Structure formats: structure tokens, C-alpha cells
Amino acid sequence: MAKDWMGKIRRGAKKPPKVILRRLSAEIKAEAERFLSPIRANRFNELSLLKETGASSLELLWSYLGSRTYPGVHLPIDCDAYEGMCPGDSQRIIKLANDAQLHQVDLLGSGAISLGERIDWFKDYKSGFSWAPAYFRNIDYNNPERPSDVKFSWELSRMQWLIPAGQAYLLTGGERYALNVREVLESWIEENPYAESVNWACTMEVALRILTFTWFFHVFHKSEAWREPAFRFKFLRSLYLHADFTQRNLESSDINGNHFTADAAGLVFAGLFWGECAAAKRWLKLGWEILCDELPRQVHPDGVDFEASVAYHRLVQELFFLPALYREGCGLPVPESYKERVVAMARFTAAYSRRDGSVPLWGDADDARALPLGGQSINDHRYLLGIIGSAWNVTELRQLFSGPLSEVFWLLGEESAAALPCDAASAAHPSRSFPDGGFFVMRNPQDHVFIDCGPLGLAGRGGHGHNDCLSFEAVLGGEHLVSDCGSYLYTASYQERNAFRSTSYHNTPQIDGQEVNRFIRWDYLWNLHNDALPLLRRWRPGAEYDLLQGGHTGYQRLTSPVTPVRTLMLDHHLHALLVRDEFEGGGRHAVGVPLHLSPSVTATGRGAPPACFPGKRLPSPLG
């Protein structure tokens, strides 16, 4: 697909002058890197590595790095003791480790896929399309004419599917797991030279590999399979160049999101991993400054990530928390204001997490994790309460935690996992409002209603947010009845991408078939017009019922403007939800009110619904 140069110019002209100058400077440097990066990488030999790190030999460097502090368990584990704390999880780990040896993966909902004896690191195994090796800025990975999904190749190259092999090594001591990881890493390093493949085309992917690679090092650095000096050099060289690339290709803009946060997290991990050398200090300083600056920009005071996606809220929470945990482990300070904002993120996670551990399918999702160590379901975010509550001794989060202990065990150790409650299902989860982020949760032990009355994602740009203002999900009487449609895929189908973020795919009123927020262009997959400004009129939680009333400005642009106003009332005793829609304005309009039911629910007609709950009068939202 030809680049939209005119569109880029028009959008760029609207940005502040300092942003334009910064972007021009970055483009000039990036073009220079096209010629400089292969020279720099080719010249970076063992002597270069030793000079940059101040080590006198590769063996001493390896030993020094292995002695440094690192978050997470990376010493041998008693398998029986682990089974006692996390029943059945060692079998899960060993099965996945054995699958990894056979090059069998299940990524992004692909189902079981065999990668073959020789892994094609540039291939989307779902569509069969493969990107030819080239300088990363020359690679077109976003093309509507083909159904390829670059995220499969990227997810494969994050190497997170190999983490169970490291855990199996710690549980069993089996050298075959260390050898398997080494062989896979050697294959990737040889076929993905610095900046020369699709797996360098997104800096976030490079940064996330830093987290995985450093974890592998601390797990396997004493193994027999990793003793060969030639491999040790190749591995450390690649890890060093990952940090170098990340610093040179930061994904910064006037409004930054999870990509920039991931870049910074990778730099912090690289800086703390490499220690006291000049480059490490530079990476650590830059990465930590970015995280401290971006946390209050990207996360509202009430703890909601501004990208308006539950799945990305989880990812960003990890990206802000893990570098802070690593810093503290190395004896470096973390400001209290930083901790408080991350704890606020965990409180939001506690509120949106349902009794069974599932979460609303809100906004975009690609199953992204920063360093996945646990065995819980991909849509179970409760472990965040355990790791943040335990690491920073937050009693509230520890008491609200429930679910599997594996993530806490692997990140913080056996003692922290053992100190958490086995089941906090009886813990009181009150209804909560998050007015800055625009989310409201009505709940009791049997009901959970998640409502969006908030702004468009990414500070009004769209990002990973959808056309879902006034939409909701509902669990009533323990049954999941009303569901969001979630996010199907990104670049593999522009048509489906736009459908799943459209108004009709959400449980919110639609007027005249128009979008709540207009699409800018069919191929602008992460941008929307910021039409629907939320209008919160009433939020009243209570012992008898919770009530919310809100509207938005999305249809004020119509010739005859209309303001949709939705009132939702959850009766805590009847376990019933009343939804009333009113439309303020004039003229004749076609009104549609989509309602997407959970896949397990079948609707049958039973006549007209009652105007209000049996024996109850709907409270006035105004008094």
C-alpha cells in the first residue's frame, strides 16, 4: 500500500511546532541510521563488547552479570513443594516446555501450530505469508491487500512461548530445556541481524525481547548447555544491541501510548541488567525518566489507563510495575507518587475483575504481556493484585486477591505466594466509580455490571478505544448475559478491524446508522474523530440499588442534533438490571439499540418488558 504522504503532512501540520521539529529530527536521524546501523553492528565484536562494559574477559563479564540482582525466581525449585502451592501447574509447565522442544505453539488464538524443524521467523503461520529480510524501515507489514497478521511473527519472536522451558529447567534440572532455548535463540539471532527483518520493525517488540532475554540469562547462565564461549558472546552481543536499537528508535510522539512505555521498560531492564557501564547508566536514566513522565500522562488519577482498553490496562500496568520492582531490587528508589498511581491501576483491575476471574472484553486486545510467568487464563488479571499488593505491602490488594498463585510465586517467590489468601471470593468488592477514566462498576456477590461513560481512548485520538460510550457488560445472578464483542484482529482484515470497533458492535444506542465517533478513513485503524464527549449526570451507588445516568455528544453533529441519555439501575436484591434509553432533541430519526448477548445465552421472546422492576418504582436520576 502506498504511503499516505499527504495525510501525514496534513496531520503533522496540526501538531505543535516543537513536535514537528522533533519528528523531523528523528526522521533525519533514522535515515542516517539506514547506512550507519549495519556498519556499527558489523563492527561490534567481542572486543567492542568488553570495551563497552569495562570487562577484562567474556568469562568475567558473564560471571558479573550472573551475580547481579534480577526480579523473579531463577534458582532450582522443589517440584513437590511447587505442586503443593500450585496444584497441577508443574504438569502444565512441562507440557508447554515439551511442546516448545517440538516447536509447537499456540499464539494469539491460532490453535496448535507446528513451526517445523526450522522456524521461519518472518512468517505469519496463520496466513502463510512471509516478509522477506530487509532493512526494518523498508518493510511494509500493514497491507490491506493481503490477510497477513504481522503480530504472529512478532509474538513468536518475543520468545515468551519459551518461558515454560526455563521454568521446567528450574523444576527438573533437565539440561535438554536449556539446550532447546539456546538452539532457538541461536536460530533467531542468526536469521534476524540487527535492524534487518520484520522483527525489528516495531521498537516495542525489540524492547519486550529485552525482558525475555534477560530472564533467560538468569535462569540458564550456569547451565552446561550455555557454557560455550561462542554462544555466550552471540547472546550478550544481541542483548546489548537490542538496548542500543531501542534507544535509537524510541516510538515517541506528542501523545504516547503503550509502545513508548514498553520502549522505556526495556531500557530500564537493559540498564539494570548491564550494571555500571556508561551505556547501561544512560539506558537506565532515560528509560526511568520516560516512565516517571509518562505514568501521570497515560494513567488517570483514578488509575485507569487512558487507552480505554481493559487488556491494554493490564499490559501497561505490568510495564510500569516491573521496572519499578527491578529498581527496588537493585536498591534504587521509586517515588511514592509513582507507586500510588500503579496501586490505583490495581484497584481498577480489582473492580473490573469478576468473581470467576474473567474480565470485560473492552476495547482492543492482543493478549500482550510484559513477562508472563503464571498459568492463569489470559483473561484473568487478578494476579496483578497479588504481585503489586505483596511487593508493596498493600493490605487492600492482598485481601482482594484470589485465583492461582503461580504468577506471584515465579515473580516474588514462595514466601510471598504462601502469605496470600487461598481464596478471597468472600472479600467485599463494592461498587466503584472511576470518573476520570469514565468507567463505572455496579457489583455485589452475584452481579457485575461494567459501564463505559468515558472519553475516547488515547486522549481523544482513538488508539485502542472503540465506539462504546454508554455501552455495558452484565453478569446477573452469576450468569454472564450481556457481553461486548471485544477485538477480533488488527491488520489481517481492515473490514473486520473497523467492524469490531464500530458502534453497532457495542451495546450502545445508535442514531440514523451513524457512528458515535466518526471514522477518519477506512485505513486509519487506530484513529477516530473525537465526537462523543461523555456527559455524566448521575452516579448513586447504594445498599438497595446502584444508579447511573449519562449521555454523550456524539450525535450533536446531526442536522437535528440528538443527545442519547441512558439510565442503568442494578437492584441488588432482585439481581436485575434496568436499562432505560431516552433521546433529547428534535426531528425524525432511526434509532437502534444493539444488545450483544454472551455466546452461552439464547434469547427468546416473552412479550413487552415491564416499565420498571416488579413492585418497584424507578428512582428519579435527578432527585
pLDDT tens-place string over residues 370-380: 999 999 999 99
pLDDT the model gives residue 8: 57
CB atoms within 10 A of CB 561: 14
pLDDT the model gives residue 31: 80
pTM, 2 dp = 0.94
Query: Which of residues 253 and 10 earns the better pLDDT score?
Result: 253
Q: Is residue 99 predicted with pLDDT exceeding 90? A: yes
Query: Which of residues 451 and 126 earns the better pLDDT score?
Result: 451
With beta carbons less than 8 A apart as the criterion, state whether 282 and 276 touch. Answer: no
In angstroms, the CA 343 to CA 328 distance is 16
In terms of Cα–Cα distance, which of 622, 618, 509 is closest to 570? 618
Q: Is residue 92 predicted with pLDDT exceeding 80? A: yes
Q: Is residue 211 predicted with pLDDT exceeding 70? A: yes
pLDDT single digits (tens) 350-386: 999 999 999 999 999 988 999 999 999 999 999 999 9
Q: What's the mean pLDDT in 148-170? A: 97
pLDDT the model gives residue 337: 98
Q: What's the mean pLDDT in 179-185? A: 98
pLDDT single digits (tens) 314-354: 999 999 999 999 999 999 999 999 999 999 999 999 999 99
CA 505 vs CA 127, 308, 437, 559, 563: distances in Å: 25, 16, 21, 24, 20
In angstroms, the CA 252 to CA 27 distance is 12
pLDDT the model gives residue 611: 53
pLDDT-based confidence at residue 427 (cuts at 50, 70, 90): low
In angstroms, the CA 178 to CA 580 distance is 59
Question: Tell me, which fold does domain 432-592 have in CATH?
Answer: Beta-galactosidase; Chain A, domain 5 (2.70.98)
Query: Which of residues 452 and 36 earns the better pLDDT score?
Result: 452
Task: Name the grid cell of 488.
Answer: 477480533
Q: Is residue 187 predicted with pLDDT exceeding 90? A: yes
Q: Is residue 250 predicted with pLDDT exceeding 60? A: yes
Q: Is residue 583 predicted with pLDDT exceeding 80? A: yes
pLDDT-based confidence at residue 615 (cuts at 50, 70, 90): very low
Bridge partners of residue 570, in order along the sequence:
546, 577
Q: How many CA atoms lie within 13 A of 224 on its CB side?
A: 5
- In our burial notation (b when 16+ CB lie closer than 10 A, e otherwise), range 457-492 reads bbbbbbbbbbbbbbbbbbbbeeebbbbbbbbbbbbb
Mean pLDDT of the chain: 93
pLDDT the model gives residue 622: 40
In angstroms, the CA 305 to CA 348 distance is 9
With beta carbons less than 8 A apart as the criterion, state whether 483 and 596 touch. Answer: yes
Sequence-ordered alpha helix ranges (H) in 432-542: 457-460, 494-500
Q: What's the mean pLDDT in 84-97? A: 96
pLDDT single digits (tens) 290-317: 999 999 999 999 999 999 999 999 999 9
In terms of Cα–Cα distance, which of 399, 374, 483 is closest to 90? 374
The domain spans of the chain are 432-592
Q: Is residue 1 predicted with pLDDT exceeding 80? A: no
pLDDT-based confidence at residue 108 (cuts at 50, 70, 90): confident
Q: Is residue 612 predicted with pLDDT exceeding 60? A: no
Least confident of 1-15, 139-153, 493-507, 556-570: 1-15
pLDDT the model gives residue 196: 95
Q: How much of the chain, in percent, has pLDDT values that exceed 90?
A: 85
Q: Is residue 532 predicted with pLDDT exceeding 90? A: yes
CB atoms within 10 A of CB 193: 16
Q: What's the mean pLDDT in 6-21? A: 66
pLDDT-based confidence at residue 614 (cuts at 50, 70, 90): very low
pLDDT-based confidence at residue 425 (cuts at 50, 70, 90): low
Q: At what angle do helices 229-248 and 203-220 cross, to 10 degrees?
A: 150
With beta carbons less than 8 A apart as the criterion, state whether 594 and 507 touch. Answer: yes
- The CA-CA-CA angle for residues 605, 611, 616, to 5°, reads 120
In angstroms, the CA 221 to CA 217 distance is 5
Q: How many CA atoms lie within 13 A of 267 on its CB side?
A: 27
Q: Is residue 17 predicted with pLDDT exceeding 60? A: yes
Q: Is residue 12 predicted with pLDDT exceeding 90? A: no
Q: Is residue 193 predicted with pLDDT exceeding 70? A: yes
